Amino acid sequence: MIYIVYGIVFGFLVTAVMGLFASWVDRKVTARVQYRVGPPLLQPLTDIIKLLGKETLIPAGASRIAFFAAPVIGLASVVVVSTLLWVNNLTPAKTFLGDLIVVVYLFTIPSISIIMGGFASKNPYASIGSSREMKLILGYELPFILALLVPIIKAGYTIRLGEIITYQVHNGIFIGSFSGLCAFIVVMMCVQAKLGLVPFDIAEAETEIVGGSLIEYSGVGLALYKLMKNMLLFVLPFFVMILFMGGLRFEGIHILWGLLKFIGVVAIITVVRNTNPRVRVDQAVRFFWGPMTIIALLGVVLALIGR
Amino acid sequence: MGVKLNALLKSPWVFHLSTGSCNNCDIEILDCLTPRFDIERFGMVLAGSIKHADVLLVTGSANRQSMERVKRIYEQMPKPCLVVAIGECSLSRGLFIHSYNCPVPIDKVIPVDVYIPGCPPKPEAIIAGVVKLIEKVKASQKEAKK
């Protein structure tokens, strides 16, 4: 029963509020980088409310069930994964064996829901976007999982998120060591690709395939996708913070530290997004299977020898 | 005023449709997104797909070929939506008023909510036109309530 409360309050509401705030920070920082003023604070929320009130169009010949189920599946998986992370962060003792693996699987489902929606909408641009997204997943999953091995090894071969947090509380955060830094760089790049932001926004390249997989979505479906992406903009930095920076803590000065950590991670994502051009899909896969995998392997080796 | 319409007026995503204009109006529309004018202050974003758009910006004198496409694009736009005609050509066919290829102005084919004259209109004029559009919709909502 308590987990339903966790799911609704922390998994959905708090995550949605923080995600919309992160989305605003992202847009505002982008605007300031380009010497613009930028949108007001409530803009992401207004966008979602507006999209909820619009007409929903279904393209002729599309698969209706898959077309409507895809955004719901994506949003549901984000809610579940954020609930898991919040429970781990608030009560580190109450975890089950292997929740890190569950979280890694759940983080793939939003991308899969985008692929599903794209293929269901019977649009050639959407199909191209979906196939690009699929190749991108093949690219970034390998270095992502290799980099996740570093906190596992450093926390004493545990795959419980709660134990990783408690280890960092007692022995210092992982990003301070060489192996942790290597893994952090790799994970940040993978987070960029998972969020679909600019160096790796190949799947929804607005200027070449006009929105990619989401091209046919309007109204409620698009609102759910936007909400899912905004929530991911909170959940993925939160996951990175749990793995490498000791998570969020709620006693005294640690609240301020937690907020600063979060804004710092979002700012890194935004700066990377604003200072890079879009790469091609073959360049992205080569980047992930080449340099990123090597750095991740280096991190694993350093972690094994205790650095 | 309803929550829905209020939200629509605060985040109008625009779709930019050129029906055979000389490109001057299109350049002026893109100027609105630049740092000097920055319409993202008002929540306006240039949408890539017509399914995401709330406001259709039409430029150019629609000819026999593009008229069909304008109609189809308008029908694909999710309602409630607004249409803005920008530039002399889309208002009254401008230079091409005697052309055999431009039989009717755009507002005979799709309902136009606001007209922005000029050849091409300045970005300031475009922003002023959109502000007038928002005020018009708000006023009509108040009328409907009474």
Q: What are A76-88's pLDDT values in tens digits?
A: 999 988 888 888 8
- Mean pLDDT along residues B119-146: 83
pLDDT reading at A93 higher than 80 = no
Alpha carbon distance, N-terminus to C-terminus of chain A: 43
Q: Is A17 exposed, middle or buried (0-12, 13-18, 19+ CB in 10 A)?
A: middle
Residue with structure tokens 């549901």?
A: A76
Contacts 24+ apart (CB under 8 A), A58-67: A59/A121, A59/A122, A59/A123, A59/A216, A60/A122, A61/A122, A62/A120, A62/A121, A62/A122, A62/A216, A63/A120, A63/A122, A66/A116, A66/A117, A66/A119, A66/A120, A67/A117, A67/A120, A67/A121, A67/A216, A67/A221
Q: What is the mean pLDDT of chain B?
A: 84
The pTM of the full predicted model, rounded to 2 decimals, is 0.88
Is residue A123 within 8 Å of residue A204, measured between CB atoms? no
Q: What is the pLDDT of residues A53-66, one digit of tens each?
A: 888 888 888 888 88
Closest chain A CA to residue B79: A55
Q: Measured between alpha carbons, how far is A307 from A300 in angstroms, rounded to an integer? A: 10
- Could you state, in order of their start, the residue ranges of all structural domains in chain B? 3-145
pLDDT at A3: 75
Q: Residues 201 to 260 of A: which have CB under 8 A from any B CB?
A: 206-207, 210-211, 214-219, 222
Q: Residues 46 to 75 of A: which have CB under 8 A from any B CB?
A: 46-47, 49-50, 52-57
pLDDT reading at A95 higher than 60 = yes
pLDDT reading at A176 higher than 70 = yes
Q: What is the pLDDT of residues B26-70, one digit of tens each?
A: 888 888 888 888 888 888 888 888 888 888 888 888 888 888 888
User: Cis peptide leading into B80, omega within 30 of 0?
Assistant: yes
Tell me which DSSP letter residue B78 carries.
Answer: P
- Mean pLDDT along residues A246-266: 80
By percentage, how much of chain A surpasses pLDDT 70?
100
Q: Residues 120 to 139 of B: which have CB under 8 A from any A CB?
A: none
Q: Measured between alpha carbons, how far is A168 from A244 in angstroms, rounded to an integer? A: 8
Tell me which DSSP letter residue A292 carries.
Answer: I
Flag if B8 and A53 touch (Cβ within 8 Å): yes
- Mean pLDDT along residues B79-90: 86
pLDDT reading at A239 higher than 80 = yes
By percentage, how much of chain A surpasses pLDDT 90?
6
pLDDT reading at B146 higher than 70 = no
Is residue A196 within 8 Å of residue A229, measured between CB atoms? yes
Residue with structure tokens 């980088």?
A: A33
By percentage, how much of chain B surpasses pLDDT 70?
98
Q: What is the band of A196 on the pLDDT scale with cuts at 50, 70, 90?
A: confident
* Helical (H) or strand (E) element with A228: helix A220-244
- Strand-pair partners of B45: B13
Q: What is the pLDDT of residues A25-36, one digit of tens each?
A: 888 888 888 888
Is residue A219 within 8 Å of residue A176, measured between CB atoms? no
CATH code of the region B3-145: 3.40.50.12280
Pairing of β B45-46 and β B114-116: unpaired
Q: What is the band of A217 on the pLDDT scale with cuts at 50, 70, 90?
A: confident
- Could you state, in order of their start, the residue ranges of all structural domains in chain A? 2-304
Flag if A50 and B10 touch (Cβ within 8 Å): yes
pLDDT at A73: 92
Flag if B43 and A210 touch (Cβ within 8 Å): no
Is residue A30 within 8 Å of residue A270, measured between CB atoms? yes
Contacts of A46 in chain B (CB under 8 A): 7, 10-11, 43
Is residue A117 within 8 Å of residue A66, measured between CB atoms? yes
Q: What is the band of B1 on the pLDDT scale with cuts at 50, 70, 90?
A: low
pLDDT reading at A45 higher than 80 = yes
- Mean pLDDT along residues A163-183: 82
Q: What is the mean pLDDT of chain A?
A: 85
Tell me which DSSP letter residue B86 carries.
Answer: E
Contacts of B8 in chain A (CB under 8 A): 50, 53-54
